[in-house]
């Protein structure tokens, strides 16, 4: 049985806890590996070594740190196919989708090559007689990243690029469900020239997370996962004086106006709703057609598209549209919510409950589901299902559709499909959601903008990647200096203007 260990001080380490967790092949339901689970002592030792290594790394000039990022870009491109195969085998997503996972993380490493520019401070001379003022951006020290199963390459890279390029040491606690790719990334960082100990990958469960939160050495925590855990980590981090950036769940709406291109909208909904088996925080899970005529026409176009979806293992290559969900428990939870939707009166237009794949009967596959006439009081509307289930909520007017997105407790992403510029502009301006798509179903910003949700989708003041990431992983120090040259002044006992 393959063993996935921690990555400590530049090499694999089994740890001392003796505890492990199963790593499944979601397509077959079989255990393919064991991953070590850290004890508090394991985590504390990794943090202590990271603190030692950070001193020299933080003193390394930004240009040299950026060169490590430049080399990392080449290495990720070199090993992308190999990493994508491992990612697919542990997560279940298709091979092209796995490569996309890595690619979107790679783009943040590319952005991090610009660290010397992002870390520049400000300067003004002659702020007063003989007085200059300037600011410096300095690393925090040791920071932690706690990342989810659904993007085992992208989100670690979103955290690692800006944090490392800023001069910090990082403790990465990835999901124990698909732990191998984070170790592969750590090995590539070492090959790229990152000093030993600056990046520590420590696998674990709640014991490891709590050890991070209790540590007096760790200065900041970045998290992506469910909303209850995001809020837990944010509150615990704040209580111990840590900077925190925690992103939670979502219930992303797509409004379809009567003037929209319905073929384009239907294609967008199928890709955004069912890609990666719906296990995306930016997946569209609620379609909101405006007007009964629009709704009827949209359902008519959605049904044949959804019924033609090909579900299968990643080894089938381009012949499948999406693969299994990550665990048996996830599959059971999705199907339970589908049953609840039927019981509460939603119309199940496409029923995937009996889906089975010959030869993969023990895999964690879920067929596609389409609900119509869903109402906001139903569990399938209120709950983040995180599976291949699309709910349709019919709205009588644009204002009703906007209100649905506005009133929902989540605020990660939303989209509107329309040919009318005034409507699109009004929607983007008014809706209280962090990322907006106009005729774009999954509006994930590119690396040089920031990614982040509002309301219960995000806790903290600064977002992921883009300039916000460098602000999050650094402190600003402001210096006021004067070099007296014949200036004679007595003691000052009050604030006064420098001029």
Please report which confidence band the pLDDT of residue 127 belongs to, taking 50, 70 and 90 as the band edges: confident
Please report which confidence band the pLDDT of residue 486 belongs to, taking 50, 70 and 90 as the band edges: low
Mean pLDDT for 154-169 is 98
Q: Beta strand 284-289 with 389-392: parallel, antiparallel or unpaired?
A: parallel
Catalytic residue (one of 281, 330, 415, 431): 281
246 is catalytic: no
With beta carbons less than 8 A apart as the criterion, state whether 87 and 93 touch: yes
The pLDDT score that the predictor gives to residue 137 is 95
Query: How many other CB atoms are found less than 10 A from the CB of residue 480?
Result: 11
pLDDT digits (tens, 9 = 90+) for 410-469: 999 999 999 999 999 999 999 999 999 999 999 999 999 999 999 999 999 899 999 999
Name the phi and psi angles at 249, rounded to 5.
Answer: -80, -175
Please report which confidence band the pLDDT of residue 499 belongs to, taking 50, 70 and 90 as the band edges: low
Q: What is the mean pLDDT of the chain?
A: 95
Q: What is the DSSP letter of 195?
A: P
Does position 490 have pLDDT exceeding 90, yes or no? no
pLDDT digits (tens, 9 = 90+) for 66-98: 999 999 999 999 999 999 999 999 999 999 999
Q: Which residue has the higher pLDDT, 483 or 425?
A: 425
Mean pLDDT for 369-374 is 98
First to last CA, the chain: 73
Could you tell me which of 276, 294, 305, 304 has the C-alpha nearest to residue 442? 276
Least confident range from 5-9, 73-77, 100-104, 490-494: namely 490-494
Mean pLDDT for 301-306 is 98
Does position 112 have pLDDT exceeding 90, yes or no? yes
With beta carbons less than 8 A apart as the criterion, state whether 65 and 195 touch: no
Place of tokens 């999406």: 322
The pLDDT score that the predictor gives to residue 93 is 97
Please report which confidence band the pLDDT of residue 484 belongs to, taking 50, 70 and 90 as the band edges: confident
With beta carbons less than 8 A apart as the criterion, state whether 40 and 211 touch: yes
């Amino acid at each position: 049985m393959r063993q996935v260990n921690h990555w400590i001080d530049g090499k694999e380490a089994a740890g001392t806890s003796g505890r492990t967790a199963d790593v499944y092949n979601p397509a077959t339901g079989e255990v393919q590996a064991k991953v070590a689970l850290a004890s508090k002592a394991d985590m504390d030792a990794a943090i202590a070594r990271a603190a030692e290594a950070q001193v020299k790394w933080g003193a390394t000039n930004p240009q040299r740190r950026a060169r490590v990022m430049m080399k990392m870009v080449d290495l990720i491109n070199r090993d992308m196919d190999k990493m994508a195969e491992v990612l697919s085998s542990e997560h279940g997503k298709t091979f092209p989708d796995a490569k996309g996972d890595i690619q979107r993380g790679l783009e943040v490493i590319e952005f991090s090559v610009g660290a010397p520019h992002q870390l520049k401070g400000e300067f003004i001379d002659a702020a007063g007689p003989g007085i200059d003022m300037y600011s410096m951006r300095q690393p925090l020290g040791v920071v932690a990243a706690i990342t989810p199963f659904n993007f085992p390459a992208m989100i670690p890279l979103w955290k690692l690029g800006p944090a490392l390029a800023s001069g910090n040491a990082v403790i990465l606690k990835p999901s124990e469900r698909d732990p191998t790719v984070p170790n592969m990334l750590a090995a590539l960082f070492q090959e790229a020239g990152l000093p030993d100990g600056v990046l520590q990958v420590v696998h674990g469960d709640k014991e490891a997370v709590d050890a991070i939160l209790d540590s007096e050495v760790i200065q900041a925590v970045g998290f992506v996962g469910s909303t209850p855990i995001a809020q837990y980590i944010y509150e615990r981090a704040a209580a111990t004086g840590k900077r925190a950036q925690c992103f939670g769940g979502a219930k992303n709406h797509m409004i379809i106006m009567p003037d929209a291109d319905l073929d384009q909208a239907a294609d967008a909904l199928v890709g955004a709703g069912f890609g990666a088996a719906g296990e995306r925080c930016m997946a569209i899970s609620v379609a909101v057609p405006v007007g009964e005529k629009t709704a009827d026409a949209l359902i008519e176009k959605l049904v044949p598209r959804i019924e033609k979806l090909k579900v299968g293992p990643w080894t089938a290559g381009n012949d499948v549209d999406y693969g299994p969900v990550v665990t048996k428990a996830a599959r059971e939870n999705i199907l339970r919510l589908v049953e609840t939707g039927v019981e509460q009166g939603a119309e199940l237009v496409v029923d995937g409950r009996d889906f089975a794949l010959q030869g993969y009967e023990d895999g964690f596959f879920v067929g596609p589901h389409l609900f119509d006439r869903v109402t906001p009081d139903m569990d399938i509307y209120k709950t983040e299902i995180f599976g291949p289930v699309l709910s349709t909520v019919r709205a009588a007017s644009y204002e009703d559709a906007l209100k649905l997105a506005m009133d929902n407790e989540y605020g990660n992403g939303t989209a509107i499909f329309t040919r009318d510029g005034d409507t699109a502009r009004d929607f983007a301006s008014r809706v209280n959601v962090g990322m907006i798509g106009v005729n774009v179903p999954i509006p994930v910003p590119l690396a040089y903008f920031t990614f982040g949700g509002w309301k219960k989708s995000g806790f903290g003041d600064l977002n992921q990647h883009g300039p916000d990431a460098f602000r999050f992983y650094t402190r600003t120090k402001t210096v006021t200096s004067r070099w007296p040259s014949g200036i004679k002044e007595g003691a000052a006992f009050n604030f006064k203007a420098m001029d």
